[in-house]
Structure 1
Amino acid sequence: MIRTLERLIFVGLLAAVFLAPWMFGAVEPWAIHALTAVLLVLLLLWGVKAVLERALRIHPTAIHGVLLGALLVAAIQIARAPSPTSEVRSAASVVVDASGTGSALVASARGSQDPPGTRRAMWRLALLIGYFGLARELLRGTRRLAGAFVVLMLLGVLLSLVGLIQKFSGTGRLLWIREVDAAEIAFGPFVNRNHAAGFLELLFPLPVALILAQGVSRERWGLCGVLAFVLGTAIALTGSRGGVLVLGAELLALPLLWRAMNAGSGRDVRSGAILTATVGAGIVLGVLWIGAEPIASRWRTIEGVSAALSDPLNRPMIWRATWDMIRDHFWWGVGLGAYPVAYTRYDRSAGLSRVEHAHNDYLHLVAELGVWGIALLLGFVIAVWRAIRRALHRTEHRLAARWERALALGVTVALIGMGIHSAFESNLQVTANALLLLFLIALLENLGARGADRRLIEERRI
């Protein structure tokens, strides 16, 4: 009974990760409600399992602490939020800066500038914490890790194929059922091609790493190569310039990191560079065969750099306005989830368009959480770095151990890719992308824990 419950919870977890992107990225309230309902059912089953076992097993990590810390800061921001009457007074006391740009400096900067938005963001964050906690407890054992890998690859291939078919069929609807204002920038179920590229970037390094690190037998190299070809071609054809840059960075990072992992071992790692170059060449040929116009048209827009820099909706202008926001709300930020409302005070586009995100996850975090966001970001990076070191520090040569080490290599490069893309896009503001990222981090944590357990057993035997 206990094993059956645990398997049901694991299947439910995989189902949530699989379905989230098909809910148009799970950014709308109905999608959050659906994922919340699934999480509550899974937690209920987990509670029943704990009662039957007469034990509640929880393995907290530093990542848990960082996420809960962000939730605590958001709660304080709501508690410090000004009352409606004080909001009216602060709105009347707008100050124009000396540059004459009209950026507003809010007198009251103690709490959330949008308490309802902060509550919604806290709900979303609590949802992600719940799924991360379940993933940390359930992603144990080679068979479960293999099952998770298969589901992720199936998800990536389906998203890639649907996105490519939708893109070249000329439909103006997401998944052929939902109309959008700018269908040309959509890809698959994602309204924004950058978010689609960000999601696929988290999956692309996994099959390449299995070939590079010999995590699978040679008979399966062809299958992994096909998976990498489909995912890489889809990323390139999303039309996301950041996606193409990150794709190249991941192809470069894979052999370099593999070489660093095997420094001093006497292994010949030249074949890794050849394999990675072969995958890259295959992606280029695939793009040329299907049609490179979407990529060429995107890169041609860079020719008008001078005009683009003066556009108030361009990234540099948004970053400048966000920096002004950080300067004015350095200690406590504008409030988790309050960025869209707070940005209206710094908008230089005269209200022509609503800016939802900073197009930079790091600036977005600091703008919303202030100096606490910087501390939480540093804690997150340190925690992930420690998990990476534990997961990659494996010395066993059995096929199962090589597979786990290769998987850890792929996840590490995926996290590096997302870290790069987050510098010029707000991928992690999309629930599906954030959920997949935390799922991979939980997988990495468990790979590191398995390696540490094995080393401890060996030390005890000695």
Structure 2
Amino acid sequence: MNRWTAYQVMLFTLPLPFGGYRDWAWPWFAAVAVILLLLEVNHLLRIRHIARLPAIPFPTAFIKALPLIGLLAMVQLWVLVQWAAGISYSPFDTYTAFLRGLGLISFFALTLLMLHSRERVKRAVWIVALAAAFQALFGAVMVLTGLEFGFFIEKQYYRGVATGTFVNRNHLAGYLEMSLALGIGFLLAQSTYYSGSLRQRMRQMVAMLLSDKVVLRLLLAVMVIALVLSRSRMGNTAFFASLMLAGGLALLLMRNKSRSTTILLASLLVIDIAIVGTFFGVEKVADRLQNTTAEHESRDEVTRDTVNMWRQNLITGIGAGAFIPVYPAFRSADVKENAIYNNAHNDYAQFGAEFGLPAYLTLAAVVLWCFWWGVMAMRLRNSDLYKGMGFSACMGIIAIAIHSAVDFNLQVPANAWMFMLVLAMAVIARWAPHNAQPLPEIKRHATLKVEDQSEPAERPA
């Protein structure tokens, strides 16, 4: 199995073993990401040596992302300091978090190295769409048939709602939000404007119906069905809100947009809410939103306790990954003692409490930087594909930003890995050369010539 095939297999299998939310699952993905990164860098070094290049032929997007990789590495260095210097309240958990973080950074860098051509970007989106559609179909079948199985075992919790192979319905919802964002951006990049005579328009429509675009739209519909069947309140809210916000940005920023772009964005909202939601129970999600009361929810209290934890360790934090053993010491009297909280149900508060303010702001800067590049991709790129991927990055970041206010998707390995893919896609959307070709594979004693892959300057805004 070559590196590219192994990367695709990893993309597809990430959510399968309980979303990686098991101590035996995520280390495999972290190890594979690190190993593939080392192999890819070694491959580029060999290309430089054989072709006698003046520098390592790193893809443009990877070079532009080096400051981001540096910031992420600084955060990981801080986690190592937390562990080694005795700052962490739970050194073992912090060391484990360091290994997870190493896997995430490696995956981010690996994605920037692997997706160095348009064809590879398209293939990665299709792999994610197929993986998410499998999760969606599996979760929907379990709900509609009453079989209620997760990953090879019968579910104990969240029966009657779609969870896929994840532990929690909100984890599935978070995964689907980002997958839908990638799929919709890719669909947006293929939007077609029908022109000419009636006969020509009919031919164009028939060609569209026979294209992969229809298959992708069906996969997205399956994902939306599963998202609704998950009954995740904030998952559904985050998806539709991010679609509207990113869609508004796209209509505002994209140049030379066709009428079909507006029609596509409008149809996604109308069809998914009015048709899919009507048949598969969007009203039940609305009922959960309306019936949510402070008496039945303790997430606000846990978030308040986590913020207090952060205040008492404002700069240094309690140690990455140390929330579980530390939280009982900060639990308020109005939170049930027999309730077990493995996470704060608020990623903002938990990251701040664990990492401390400087590292927290560094992570926020990386996300905002990528979001800006996604916006600029929609505004400045000429390529429909990369404009669409800029849309995907913006929508995915907005969705997780909303969902993270009341949940812990970024503590789930599969979703954290997927978020790194979304961030990497923002970099690729902004900086990948329009006509870049795949780098050649090399064999022992081979000689090759690496052609210039630079892109003509983008037209000014």
Tell me if both proteins adopt one fold, taking TM over 0.5 as the criterion: yes
Q: In the alignment, what sits opposite 2:272?
A: 283
CA distance in 2, matches of 1:57, 1:124: 28
Q: CA deviation at 1:272?
A: 3.9
Is 1:42 matched up with 2:36?
yes
Provide the rounded CA distance (Å) in 2 between the counterparts of 1:79 and 1:207: 42
Q: CA RMSD in A?
A: 2.9
Q: Distance in 2 between matches of 1:372 and 1:429?
A: 20
Distance in 2 (alpha carbons) for counterparts of 1:259 and 1:460: 20
Shift of 1:288: 2.3
Determine if contact 2:347/2:409 at 8 Å carries over to the other structure: yes
| Partner in structure 1 of residue 317 of structure 2 | 333
What displacement does 1:451 show?
Answer: 5.1
Q: Deviations over 1:89-128 (max 9, x none)?
A: xxxxxxxxxxxxxxxxxxxxxx111100001111100011
Match of 1:243 in 2: 235
Aligned length: 413
**What are the equivalent positions in structure 2 for 1:64-213 lying under 5 Å apart?**
64-81=69-86, 111-184=87-160, 187-213=163-189
Aligned to 2:215: 223
Distance 1:77 1:27 in 2: 23
Secondary structure in structure 2 of the residue aligned to 1:174? coil
CA distance in 1, matches of 2:175, 2:457: 40
Greater CA deviation, 286-295 or 12-21?
A: 286-295
Judged with a 3 Å threshold, the aligned counterparts in structure 2 of structure 1 residues 194 and 181 are, in CA distance, closer, same or farther, namely closer
Quote the residue 2:408 is aligned against: 426
CA drift of 1:292 comes to: 4.6
- Alpha-carbon distance in structure 1 between the residues aligned to 2:304 and 2:232: 22
Task: Give me the TM-score of the superposition, normalised by structure 1.
Answer: 0.81
2:357 is aligned with what amino acid? V
- Could you tell me which residue of structure 1 aligns to residue 444 of structure 2? none
Contact 1:200-1:235 within 8 A present in 2 as well: yes
For the Cα contact (< 8 Å) 1:139–1:442, is it kept in 2?
A: no
CA contact (8 A) 1:213 1:258 kept: no
Contact 2:189 2:384 in 1 (8 A): yes
Q: Which stretch has the larger CA shift, 352-361 or 194-203?
A: 352-361
Equivalent residue letter for 1:278: S
Off by >6 Å, runs of 4+ in structure 1: 452-456
Distance 1:190 1:273 in 2: 34
In structure 1, the residue matched to 2:330 is 346
Where in structure 1 are there 5+ consecutive unaligned residues? Answer: 82-110
Paired residues of 1:173 and 1:183 also in contact (CA < 8 A): no
Out of 273, 295, 305, the residue aligned to residue 307 of structure 1 is: 295
Contact in 1 for aligned 2:148/2:159 (Cα 8 Å): yes
Q: How far apart, in 1, do the equivalents of 2:67 and 2:311 lie?
A: 29
Q: Is contact 1:360–1:425 with CA below 8 Å preserved after alignment?
A: yes
Task: Report the CA distance between 1:450 and its aligned residue.
Answer: 2.2
Tell me: CA distance 1:334–1:147, structure 2 relative to 1, closer, same or farther (3 Å). Answer: same
Percent of aligned positions with the same letter in both sequences?
25
Counterpart contact for 2:191–2:264, Cα < 8 Å: no
Q: Which residue of 1 aligns with 2:200?
A: none
Counterpart residue identity of residue 287, structure 1: G
CA distance in 1, matches of 2:9, 2:18: 15
SS at match of 1:173: coil
Aligned partners of 2:25, 2:149: CA distance in 1, in Å? Answer: 18
Contact 2:75-2:363 at 8 Å conserved across structures: no
Q: TM-score, normalised by structure 2?
A: 0.81
Q: 1:164 to 1:251 in 2, by over 3 A?
A: same
Amino acid paired to 1:368: E
Give the secondary structure class of the aligned counterpart of 1:330: coil
In the TM superposition, what is the alpha-carbon distance from 1:423 to its structure 2 partner?
1.5
Structure 2 runs not aligned, ≥5 long = 50-54, 194-204, 437-452
Partner of 1:298: 288
SS in 1 for 2:25: helix
SS in 2 for 1:22: coil
Whether contact under 8 Å (1:13, 1:131) holds in the other structure is no
- 1:14 CA drift (Å): 1.9
1:321 partnered with 2:305: yes
Q: After the TM superposition, which of the residue ranges 246-255 and 123-132 deviates more from structure 2? A: 246-255
